[in-house]
Structure 1
Amino acid sequence: MIRVDRDGVLEPASLERPYGSGRFKGKTEAERVAIEFADHLRDGGTPETFTFKYERYSDADVKFALNQLFGGKCAYCETRYAATQPVDVEHWRPKSEVHERDANGVKIVLPGYHWLASAWENLLPSCIDCNRERGQKDFVTGVEETLGKANQFPVNGPRMAPPASGAPAVVEDVLLLNPCLEDPGAHLDFRDDGAVMPRQDSPKGLASIRVYALNRTELALDRLGIARLIEQRLRTIEGLASVIRDPALTENLRRDLQDLAAHEIDALHEMAQPDREYAALARQLIEESAPPSVRR
């Protein structure tokens, strides 16, 4: 997971497009939801019983914008989904309901954040394995369990109340990382064996690794492949640097080897570019393992 600036892509037109007629003429879908929810509460309904047929967040221009913003990668695990599967338009704050578990492991269902279902800042692109609950084997523990975000959204303390409820505004202490809101590198520590651990026991790192299934075995093995390629490139660069220092080399051969070393350094740093899979892992390993002359 890497930091991504949401301002780099304009909000999709579908989310801003107003209705052209009827009671909600001139209103966006998000504004319509807020009005209908307020009506629902006024008529004696509860947040748990509110329903709405959302249409805008799944429009093609929303998916296109999310693909642009994250380079066709999952916002959480950085796997490139674009070549193999359609994007899941993920609601960071779940739209319909939130699932928690009590001290005994019993699932508790709470109202979701329906008023944010069509809000651009709440939408992220996700692969199936991060976004949906599925049976997975944890790479670190070896335990088979159900992993994936689905409707999980853990917080410390009170949750945000719907604007129409009249309840005091609450700034949630969210336990999940959002790559558009903060630097995940402050909370996640990638290892050269493909695993990721919470940095300095970060609660956000710990919760995000579990909820987003960031240590599912197949994902960790893919990261391991990148880690080994980085190690191989670093050894090649080190070996070339040693040979280049040999005073017996001809100048022509020295220049050829310098060009080859420069190519390897460029290829190494290309692995850390935002559009590459597992860029967070690559950036950390390069920073920790590359000699100062190779870092940028």
Structure 2
Amino acid sequence: MIRVNRGAKPEGLEAIRKAEVKRLAAIVRGAPPKAADFGNRYDIARRVLWKAQGQTCCYCERRIDRLYNDVEHFRPKTRAHRGGDRPTHGYWWLAWTWENLLFACPSCNRRHKKNKFPLVRGSRILPVGHSPPGPERALLVDPAGSDDPMDHIQFVPLHQAGKKRKWIPVARGGSRRGKRTIQVLKLDRPALVTHDGGHVSDLVDHHVKGIRAAIDAGDVQAAAKVWQAALKKLFYPRQAFKALSYDVLDHHFPLGTRQQWGLEPYRP
């Protein structure tokens, strides 16, 4: 997971937000809102988010070749599981708020995150109508929030005898938020880990070998050249799994090595 920059708010979204919040406020006075009550006017943000995220999922970073028909609400709109046994009201007033909208793949959004939004134990819930974060202390890492997701989650190699090496996400430095985010989104699910591993073996390892060969030959200029080629290929906007690529490069060429060989630092 990398930091997402949504860019400018889509024209017309603010007017939609004001009208829809007023409409929903009348509904929730009588009963908790249902999914059907929200309609799909926030869909105006769908293509903008898809492009801003390089056509990748905001959580797992898999490429989404076609416009998936849902916009992800970081704070769930209908109901929210914040911890404990039963869900309570969702953040219905944020359903059309630009800062709460993301673009996610079906697996992360519908199968795993759903309406989960765990909070730190003892944290107060954001009051209705207020802007986040307020008194809330969220455990999920927001890809477009103030924290860099890469400060909380990193990929490390998993070696298994007789098997192809896999790269799995773990909490960086024991980050509690990183650990909970991985758990909620199932970022270590087998299908995703296997796909990530394929990305490394099919693409990243080729660049690692080229950089290693230049360093072993003692050729500073060649090392810089192949390093730049790797950055250009692995971190262009629509490339998948940029956080994984960064951690693989960092694993093979830690900071001391990069400084020694004058390899330009880069962080997606």
TM-score tier after normalising by the smaller chain length: 0.7 to 0.9
**Is it true that 1:127 corresponds to 2:102 in the alignment?**
no
Q: 1:13 aligns with which of 11, 14, 17?
A: 11
**Is it true that 1:204 corresponds to 2:191 in the alignment?**
no
Please state whether the residue corresponding to 1:3 is helix, strand or coil.
Answer: coil
Task: Give, in whole Å, the separation in 2 of the partners of 1:110 and 1:116.
Answer: 15
2:213 aligns with: 239
For the aligned residue pairs, the C-alpha RMSD in angstroms reads 2.8
Q: 1:52 aligns with which of 31, 37, 40?
A: 37
**Is it true that 1:30 corresponds to 2:17 in the alignment?**
yes
**Alpha-carbon deviation of 1:92?**
0.6
Instruction: Kindly provide the amino acid, as one letter, of the partner of residue 2 in structure 2.
Output: I
1:264 aligns with: 226
**Is it true that 1:76 corresponds to 2:59 in the alignment?**
yes
Task: Give, in whole Å, the separation in 1 of the partners of 2:13 and 2:231.
Answer: 36
1:218 aligns with: 191
Please state whether the residue corresponding to 2:126 is helix, strand or coil.
Answer: coil
Q: Is the 1:63–1:89 Cα contact (8 Å) retained in structure 2?
A: yes
What TM-score comes out, normalization by structure 1 length?
Answer: 0.73
Give the gaps of 5 or more residues in structure 1. Answer: 17-27, 134-147, 246-256
Instruction: Kindly provide the amino acid, as one letter, of the partner of residue 30 in structure 1.
Output: R
Question: Deviation per CA, 1:180-209, whole angstroms, max 9, x where unpaired?
Answer: 112001100211332000112211101110
How do 1:276-295 residues align onto structure 2 when only pairs under 5 Å count?
276-290=239-253, 291-292=257-258, 293=261, 294-295=263-264
Please state whether the residue corresponding to 2:42 is helix, strand or coil.
Answer: coil
Instruction: Kindly provide the amino acid, as one letter, of the partner of residue 210 in structure 2.
Output: T
Please state whether the residue corresponding to 2:103 is helix, strand or coil.
Answer: strand
**Alpha-carbon deviation of 1:89?**
0.8
What TM-score comes out, normalization by structure 2 length?
Answer: 0.79
Q: Percent identity?
A: 30
| 1:37–1:64 CA distance, 2 compared to 1 (3 A) | closer
Please state whether the residue corresponding to 1:45 is helix, strand or coil.
Answer: coil
Q: Which moved more, 1:122-131 or 1:273-282?
A: 273-282
Task: Give, in whole Å, the separation in 2 of the partners of 1:239 and 1:119.
Answer: 50
Task: Give, in whole Å, the separation in 2 of the partners of 1:264 and 1:186.
Answer: 27
Please state whether the residue corresponding to 1:11 is helix, strand or coil.
Answer: coil
| 1:160–1:241 CA distance, 2 compared to 1 (3 A) | closer
Question: Deviation per CA, 1:55-94, whole angstroms, max 9, x where unpaired?
Answer: 32113xx22210121010000111011x256253101111
2:46 aligns with: 63
Q: Is the 1:40–1:50 Cα contact (8 Å) retained in structure 2?
A: no
Q: Which moved more, 1:284-293 or 1:206-215?
A: 284-293
Task: Give, in whole Å, the separation in 2 of the partners of 1:273 and 1:200.
Answer: 27
Q: Is the 2:154–2:243 Cα contact (8 Å) retained in structure 1?
A: no
| 1:243–1:37 CA distance, 2 compared to 1 (3 A) | closer
Q: Is the 1:196–1:209 Cα contact (8 Å) retained in structure 2?
A: yes
| 1:240–1:37 CA distance, 2 compared to 1 (3 A) | closer
Task: Give, in whole Å, the separation in 2 of the partners of 1:51 and 1:277.
Answer: 33
Q: 2:127 aligns with which of 140, 145, 161?
A: 161
1:172 aligns with: 136
| 1:96–1:239 CA distance, 2 compared to 1 (3 A) | same
| 1:284–1:274 CA distance, 2 compared to 1 (3 A) | farther
Q: Is the 2:83–2:118 Cα contact (8 Å) retained in structure 1?
A: no
Give the gaps of 5 or more residues in structure 2. Answer: 158-165
Q: 2:93 aligns with which of 106, 115, 121?
A: 115
State the structure with more CA Rg: 1
Q: Is the 2:50–2:67 Cα contact (8 Å) retained in structure 1?
A: no
Higher normalized strand content (fraction of residues): 1
Report the count of equivalent residues.
244
